[in-house]
Structure 1
Amino acid sequence: MADENPAVRRLSDWEPEPLRDIADEYGTPLYVQDVGRVRENAVRLREAFPDADIAYAVKANTTHAVLSALERAGIAAECASAGEVQRSLDAGFPPERIRYTAVNPPDVDLDHVCALDGVDELTITVGARDTLDRVAERGFDGPLCVRVNPGVGAGHHAKVSTGAEPKFGVPYDRAADLCRKAADRGFDLVGVHAHAGSGISGEDLSAHRELVARMGELTREIADLDPEFVAVGGGFGVPYRESEEPLDLTRVAAATREAIGETDARLAIEPGRYFVADAGVLLTTVNTVKPTPETTVVGIDAGMTTLLRPAMYDAYHAVRSLEPDLPRKDPVSCELSGPVCETADVLGRDRTLPDPTRGDLLAIGNAGAYGYEMASTYNSRPRPAVVSLDGTLVSLSVERERLSNLTALERSAGDSDGSAVDGERDADGGTNQW
């Protein structure tokens, strides 16, 4: 099993010839997602946490192929928006295997979720007393979970460390009181939830352990309410640099079980990137090679609108050339620059590549999580296509946007079809996005 299901899939493990064939057929920039690898990662998580309730943090990658593969693998869905709930339902997740964990949800989101068929089986997680009141006003009486701010955070970047950020969850010292108020109001309190952050590694396992210990204490404090589960988030990291070791998932699982202590509530985890990051690559084509005194600027057709993580988080993604004549090329230090008019539009600095030539095909690794999900149309650039791999089967998951798509929703001042620019208004004056 170890050889068939390694702890991490490196960019060098991808066979170049099939990727070249895919790029020839579908063009670039192009995301390629291997759903077989997604299933392998699900198996590894299940083996490390055999008794846990495992949910996938849908925001990492919402493509239908990924969602349907994880649904068939028996994984639950943890959703941060009404849109993610709807995508999960469309992919086959039954309501009882969906947790809606929204942060400051807009009214239109709550309206949609609370009106769904089977909503009485879907778990809604609230992170504020206001949110509790708002779901009550909509007549929701299904399973309820309370999100807790444990006062401790972890993660690969300050922008994804959620555990100590006041935006997320009820302050720890008020959580038990809100749980009791919810139960007194007739809600079916099924659990409590906290999330330290994203990209947790062995280096910050102590913060994860502290969060889990606090959640264990809270669960024992409200044991009389008989919570079914205690969710300690996910955020398990993957090694983006080739020199980094993969996460010791067995060690993380053991530390989690030890830290939570004795409780009748079932442990729940909600990884996102761990399922999908190393299952995806981004293919891009060199269009400009510009030697400068500082470096060789390699212009590519993917940029920060295609893959935002380097500009947003200073994230590192491995890069390799997929050209077949590499042995004949000398190594060159490069800066990989995209086509967006921003200084931040650089996907990699000080990278060594075989002497690049216009038309070369490059692959960018660990692009399966928060890649296509964070793509945008800034600079009026259409978003890329997504292709799914399942063994030898290659299929188009998401079509490439075209320039005509960018203006499809726009209305000019002379239009008289009665619709507002930002969508039709409902009877209460709100925007109905559904």
Structure 2
Amino acid sequence: MSHSSPAVRRVADWDFDQLSSLAAEHGTPLYVVDLDRVAENYERFASAFPDAHVMYAAKAHTGRAVLETLLDAGADIECAARGELQRAIQAGADPDTLQYTAVNPPDADLDYAAELGADHPGLTVTGGARDTFDRLEARGYDGRVAIRVNPGIGTGHHEKVATGKDAKFGIPYDEVAELAEDLRERFDLVGLHAHVGSGVLHDDLEDHCRAIAKVADLAREVDDADLEFVDFGGGFGVPYREDEEPLDMDVVGEKVREAVGDLAAQIKLEPGRYVVADSEVILTGVNTVKETPEATVVGVDASLATLIRPAMFDSYHPIANVSAPDRAVEPVAVGGPCCTSADVFCTDRPVARPEREDLLAIGNAGAYGYELANQFHSQPRPAEVAVEGGEPRVVRRRETMDDVTRVEREAEE
């Protein structure tokens, strides 16, 4: 594994011949994840923070093949829900190494965490509300806990991911010191945690580091020598647009260490998007090309059920014509088969002119791609193929209509 691997993988860097073969064999829409790239991204990030404990934020992509790859690479796993804890364990994670960040946790999630902690005292539960700690105590849990801090500073690519200033997330900054004293009487308080946003690139780095410095100051106030760790979350972005530059992780590492300053507790970091975003593409077939006075509309078989980020976050995802990359480029709108104007991947986007039966690739689909896939319009979710060492294998089969309707049929039995 080389620390010098390219800092970003563009959609044009994929092997178009292999992608065409995979689409022909497995159909479209199809997710294709490069597990070697997942490991390379993790290694590059970890190399930039040699003294930190680097965990992978599972919510970005909980596919078993991805989790197994990262566990093999030496990553621990941070989970934000009961299902993620279960999936990490099924992938081979030691429950004593897991960190569970509870956000308004349902009773069933806390029940599971309390039971898991009883058998695995290394589990750490991070709470962002006083109620969460009270509910844990009511379940007999007295193990390792961390406080999620709301630093009042949010960063990232969209207001919906700027968690550091969202009241939903974390204990208000000025209340943490008092809460820490209370929790030390009831649990094993081992850390502080903060996550201020997602998709942070160079323009957001100053604010990101300002939030990190603020949390580090708070750690010293509550006696960092008595804490095992201070977790500064993730949020480090990748360039989705072709003209955006990737983060220089060596520079980022220096800036983060400068922001943290002297700290007795260990630094923890939780990259998610950075590790998986550019490791995956979606392959989709063109079924319709319609000329209108306003635009050339290209219809594809992928939809917002396949990739919801453009509809949810107005996210940019690069698109390439795999079938004819050298064809003349012209501006097009690309949309799916859902009956809503939100089902559009791009408008007025220069793409090598698509024709019916062409294959397109939608890039940077690894982070929150399959995680947010759904069955809108009763569309079965796509298959996913993993490539490792150049060899492909199916890691998620394509859903069928039987899968879509199974829960209803079983309810009637």
Identify the TM-score tier after normalising by the shorter chain: over 0.9
For residue 272 of structure 1, what is the aligned residue in structure 2?
272
Deviations for 1:317-347, whole angstroms, at most 9, x for unmatched residues? 1111111x554x3323210010111101001
Q: Find the aligned partners of 2:130 and 2:379 in 1 and give their Cα distance.
A: 41
| 1:80 CA displacement | 0.7
Q: Does 1:122 align with 2:123?
A: yes
| 1:383 CA displacement | 0.9
The answer on whether the counterparts of 2:229 and 2:265 sit within 8 Å (CA) in structure 1 is yes
Deviations for 1:236-263, whole angstroms, at most 9, x for unmatched residues? 0100011110012122211111111211
The equivalences for 1:78-89 within 5 A come to 78-89=78-89
> Which of 404, 407, 419 is the aligned partner of 2:405?
407
Q: Find the aligned partners of 1:35 and 1:333 in 2 and give their Cα distance.
A: 33
The answer on whether the counterparts of 1:119 and 1:142 sit within 8 Å (CA) in structure 2 is no
Q: Find the aligned partners of 1:91 and 1:65 in 2 and give their Cα distance.
A: 8
| 1:96 CA displacement | 2.4
Deviations for 1:283-338, whole angstroms, at most 9, x for unmatched residues? 00000111111111000000111011111111111111111x554x3323210010
The answer on whether the counterparts of 2:287 and 2:301 sit within 8 Å (CA) in structure 1 is yes
| 1:225 CA displacement | 6.5
Q: Find the aligned partners of 2:361 and 2:319 in 1 and give their Cα distance.
A: 6
CA, structure 1 residues 213+384, in 2 after alignment: closer, same or farther (shift >3 Å)?
A: same
Name the SS of the counterpart of 2:205 in structure 1.
helix
For residue 184 of structure 1, what is the aligned residue in structure 2?
185
CA, structure 1 residues 110+354, in 2 after alignment: closer, same or farther (shift >3 Å)?
A: same
How many residues are treated as equivalent by the alignment?
412
The answer on whether the counterparts of 1:319 and 1:362 sit within 8 Å (CA) in structure 2 is yes
For residue 299 of structure 1, what is the aligned residue in structure 2?
299
For residue 284 of structure 2, what is the aligned residue in structure 1?
284
| 1:201 CA displacement | 1.1
Q: Find the aligned partners of 2:224 and 2:370 in 1 and give their Cα distance.
A: 44
Name the SS of the counterpart of 1:409 in structure 2.
helix
Q: What code does the residue aligned with 1:372 have? A: Y
CA, structure 1 residues 401+188, in 2 after alignment: closer, same or farther (shift >3 Å)?
A: same
List runs of 5+ in structure 1 lacking aligned partners: 418-434
The answer on whether the counterparts of 2:298 and 2:354 sit within 8 Å (CA) in structure 1 is yes
Q: Find the aligned partners of 1:153 and 1:308 in 2 and give their Cα distance.
A: 23
Query: TM-score by structure 1 length?
Result: 0.92
**Which range moves more in the overlay, 203-212 or 189-198?**
203-212
The answer on whether the counterparts of 1:189 and 1:225 sit within 8 Å (CA) in structure 2 is no
| 1:412 CA displacement | 9.0
For residue 330 of structure 2, what is the aligned residue in structure 1?
332
For residue 26 of structure 1, what is the aligned residue in structure 2?
26
CA, structure 1 residues 326+204, in 2 after alignment: closer, same or farther (shift >3 Å)?
A: closer
Q: What code does the residue aligned with 1:70 have? A: L
| 1:348 CA displacement | 1.1
| 1:119 CA displacement | 3.4
Q: Find the aligned partners of 2:56 and 2:325 in 1 and give their Cα distance.
A: 39
The answer on whether the counterparts of 2:224 and 2:264 sit within 8 Å (CA) in structure 1 is no
Q: What code does the residue aligned with 1:50 have? A: P
| 1:224 CA displacement | 6.6
For residue 166 of structure 2, what is the aligned residue in structure 1?
165
| 1:362 CA displacement | 0.6
| 1:205 CA displacement | 1.2
Q: Does 1:375 align with 2:373?
A: yes
The answer on whether the counterparts of 1:189 and 1:227 sit within 8 Å (CA) in structure 2 is yes
Deviations for 1:178-234, whole angstroms, at most 9, x for unmatched residues? 11111012x111100001110011101121111111111111112176101101111
Q: What code does the residue aligned with 2:9 have? A: R
For residue 322 of structure 2, what is the aligned residue in structure 1?
322
The answer on whether the counterparts of 1:212 and 1:259 sit within 8 Å (CA) in structure 2 is yes
The answer on whether the counterparts of 2:225 and 2:264 sit within 8 Å (CA) in structure 1 is no
For residue 91 of structure 1, what is the aligned residue in structure 2?
91
For residue 311 of structure 1, what is the aligned residue in structure 2?
311
Q: Find the aligned partners of 2:120 and 2:407 in 1 and give their Cα distance.
A: 31
Q: What code does the residue aligned with 2:109 have? A: D
Q: What code does the residue aligned with 1:168 have? A: F
For residue 390 of structure 2, what is the aligned residue in structure 1?
392
| 1:3 CA displacement | 9.1
Query: TM-score by structure 2 length?
Result: 0.97
4+ long deviations beyond 6 Å? none
Q: Find the aligned partners of 1:3 and 1:100 in 2 and give their Cα distance.
A: 29
CA, structure 1 residues 152+304, in 2 after alignment: closer, same or farther (shift >3 Å)?
A: same
| 1:142 CA displacement | 2.0
For residue 155 of structure 2, what is the aligned residue in structure 1?
154
Deviations for 1:97-116, whole angstroms, at most 9, x for unmatched residues? 21100200000111112212
Name the SS of the counterpart of 2:165 in structure 1.
coil
Name the SS of the counterpart of 1:167 in structure 2.
coil
The equivalences for 1:58-77 within 5 A come to 58-77=58-77
The equivalences for 1:230-249 within 5 A come to 230-249=230-249
Name the SS of the counterpart of 2:191 in structure 1.
strand
Name the SS of the counterpart of 2:24 in structure 1.
helix
Q: Find the aligned partners of 1:244 and 1:412 in 2 and give their Cα distance.
A: 49
Q: Find the aligned partners of 2:353 and 2:386 in 1 and give their Cα distance.
A: 30
Higher helix share: 2
Name the SS of the counterpart of 1:368 in structure 2.
coil
Q: Does 1:254 align with 2:254?
A: yes
| 1:393 CA displacement | 1.7
| 1:277 CA displacement | 0.3
What value does the CA root-mean-square deviation take over the aligned residues?
1.6
